[in-house]
Amino acid sequence: MAVEVKLPQLGESTYEGTIGKWLKQPGDHVERFEPLVEIITDKVNVEMPAPIGGTLQKILVDEGATVPTGTAIALMETTDAAAAPEAQPRTPVAAAAAPAASDRRTVAAGDGERARLSPVVRKLAEEHGVPLEEVASLRGSGAGGRVTKEDVLKHLEQRKAPARPAAGVATAPPATPARPGAFPAQPSAAAPKEAGGDELVKLTPLRRSIAQRMAQSKRDIPHAYGTIEADVTTLIKWREANKDEWRAREGVNITLTAFFIKAAVEALRAFPVVNAAWTEDGILLRKAINIGVGIALEDGLIVAVIKHADQKSLVGVAGELDALGRKARDGKLALEDVQGGTFTITNPGVFGSIWSMPIIVPGQAGILATDAAVKRPVVRGDGIAIRDIMHLGLSFDHRIFDGATGVQFLNRIKTKLEGFPGGDAALTDF
């Protein structure tokens, strides 16, 4: 029996994928879970395993083509009677996206109840050529997060692409009548028009994804901000004195970021409400502490996630940071490397920023900005001292907690950083 192999949803807010390379050719025998095809998404590249065992009969989507999730990309001949009529592959992605036991909301997103769409919602989706999976993944305003007609109409409004530029400028034809991941445009009247000499730079999938996520965050989350100063003189001095020896011993660079992550983890433990997510049913306190860290790439920022950062030593965190950074720059990040973050740290300080107000990653309660440590004259006792001072900035979802908590959280990090013990045992003591 011939079974369609469909492009799975490769993670949150991913609605399309590009066929990188077919690893099997028609006629090839394929074992279940054997790598079948390489898929490129706006976030990562993955090798998709065969959902069933059998013979690859026909390739339906050529290499280089971009198709929405749910599109049949190949036909497989199988004798596997148990093969589902719609072969939705069980990818490592699915495992990565699998919610932790305590993540009630994400569980709901996957189960049948929330995926139930009302007749009018289905009709609307069909009329506008929107895949049902996309509609089902919307944040519903109805009871229990149910997607209502109103939600679909709003979504349709948002996914309309910005006005097409004048002729002569190459623009990608939309892969689908309306791009699922399209940047939620302002009404086209407000879209900027090109003037002579202007250049329209095509959106990379990463740029488009960032645009969509950031706009969504600012639209949905009432951001509030807090900033405090931390005196990191001891920490910086110690690092300068020890970084070469460290590198020689551990093989990786010791960055300030590793210290920030450790300090933040401790503060997150003390303030679980910061390691949380907003849902209409309540505040979802995350059990795992998975720290996302912004990594600047050529065409945008990607957030890699250090899983269970609370269970890792400073050395372990530094090592993982180094590995993730390298993978990101080589384009080798796997989906599990970018998913499951519960709190994010961004480090604009490396570029010299001294005051930042970052945007919260949707689905999280806050994001910490660590700014550049700058030598400043500060009052210590009755004198003036020159110290390394940095700003710790927190953007937080004001629905989840208030300023008092936010600033206490920051103070906890400050205390930790300022209390850096120094000395030989610094790394294990921190």
Partner 1 sequence: MAEIRYIDAINQAHHEEFARDEHVVVLGEDVGRKGGVFGATAGLIDKFGEDRVIDSPLAESSIAGMAIGMAANGLVPITEFQFADFIHPAFNQIVSEAARMRYRSNNAFGCPVVFRAPWGGSHGTALYHSQSIEAFYSHVPGIKVVAPSTPYDAKGLLKSAIRDPDPVMFLEHKRMYRLVKGEVPSGDFTVPIGPAAVRREGTDLSIFAYGWMLHESLGAAEMVAPEGISVEVVDVRTLVPLDTQTLLKSVGKTNRALVVYEDNRFGGYGAEIAALIAEQAFYDLDAPVTRLGGPDVPGIPFAKPLEEWFFITKEKIADAIRKLAAL
Write out the two tokens for 423: 């000395």
Name the one range near partner 1 by CB under 8 A: 89-97, 118-126, 269-277, 300-308: 118-126
Q: Which of 82, 101, 113, 119 binds partner 1 (CB under 8 A)?
A: 119
Active site residue 398: yes
* Residue 226 to residue 65: CA distance in whole angstroms: 45
207 near partner 1, rule: CB under 8 A: no
Which of 220, 402, 424, 429 is flagged as catalytic?
402
Please choose, from the candidates 9, 106, 2, 93, the residue with its C-alpha nearest in 3D space to the C-alpha of residue 46.
Answer: 93
Q: Which residues of 298-334 are buried (b: 16+ CB within 10 A; e: fewer)?
A: eeeebbbbbbebbebebbebbbbbbebbebbeeeebb
The phi and psi torsions of 36 (rounded to 5 degrees) equal: -110, -45
55 near partner 1, rule: CB under 8 A: no
Name the one range near partner 1 by CB under 8 A: 5-13, 120-128, 197-205, 217-225: 120-128
139 near partner 1, rule: CB under 8 A: no
329 near partner 1, rule: CB under 8 A: no
- Kindly tell me which of 140 and 325 has the beta carbon lying closer to partner 1: 140
Q: Taking the complex as a whole, how short is the minimal distance between the CB of residue 321 and partner 1, in angstroms?
A: 45
Alpha-helical regions (H) of 42-91? none
Q: Which of 13, 55, 88, 118 binds partner 1 (CB under 8 A)?
A: 118
* Residue 221 to residue 353: CA distance in whole angstroms: 24
Which of 128, 223, 308, 398 is flagged as catalytic?
398
Please choose, from the candidates 389, 388, 405, the residue with its C-alpha nearest in 3D space to the C-alpha of residue 397.
Answer: 405
Active site residue 111: no
Over its C-alpha atoms, the chain yields an Rg (Å, rounded) of 24
Assign 227 to helix, strand or coil. Answer: strand
Q: Which of 1, 95, 120, 386 binds partner 1 (CB under 8 A)?
A: 120
128 near partner 1, rule: CB under 8 A: no
* Residue 70 to residue 53: CA distance in whole angstroms: 20
Assign 59 to helix, strand or coil. Answer: strand
143 near partner 1, rule: CB under 8 A: yes
122 near partner 1, rule: CB under 8 A: yes
Cβ pair 225, 392 in contact under 8 A? no
Name the one range near partner 1 by CB under 8 A: 50-58, 140-148, 194-202, 302-310: 140-148
Q: Taking the complex as a whole, how short is the minimal distance between the CB of residue 109 and partner 1, in angstroms?
A: 19
Q: Are strands 343-346 and 291-297 parallel, antiparallel or unpaired?
A: parallel
112 near partner 1, rule: CB under 8 A: no
Residue reference for tokens 């910005």: 162
- Kindly tell me which of 118 and 253 has the beta carbon lying closer to partner 1: 118
# binding residues, partner 1 (CB under 8 A)? 11
Residue reference for tokens 């300068």: 240
223 near partner 1, rule: CB under 8 A: no
- Kindly tell me which of 112 and 352 has the beta carbon lying closer to partner 1: 112
Name the one range near partner 1 by CB under 8 A: 8-16, 116-124, 182-190, 340-348: 116-124
352 near partner 1, rule: CB under 8 A: no
113 near partner 1, rule: CB under 8 A: no
Question: What is the per-residue DSSP string for 338-392?
Answer: HS--SEEEE-GGGGT-S---PPPPTTSSEEEEE---EEEEEEETTEEEEEEEEEE
376 near partner 1, rule: CB under 8 A: no
- Kindly tell me which of 63 and 157 has the beta carbon lying closer to partner 1: 157
146 near partner 1, rule: CB under 8 A: yes
> In the complex, which residues of this chain contact partner 1 (CB under 8 A)?
118-123, 142-143, 146, 148-149
Catalytic residues: 398, 402
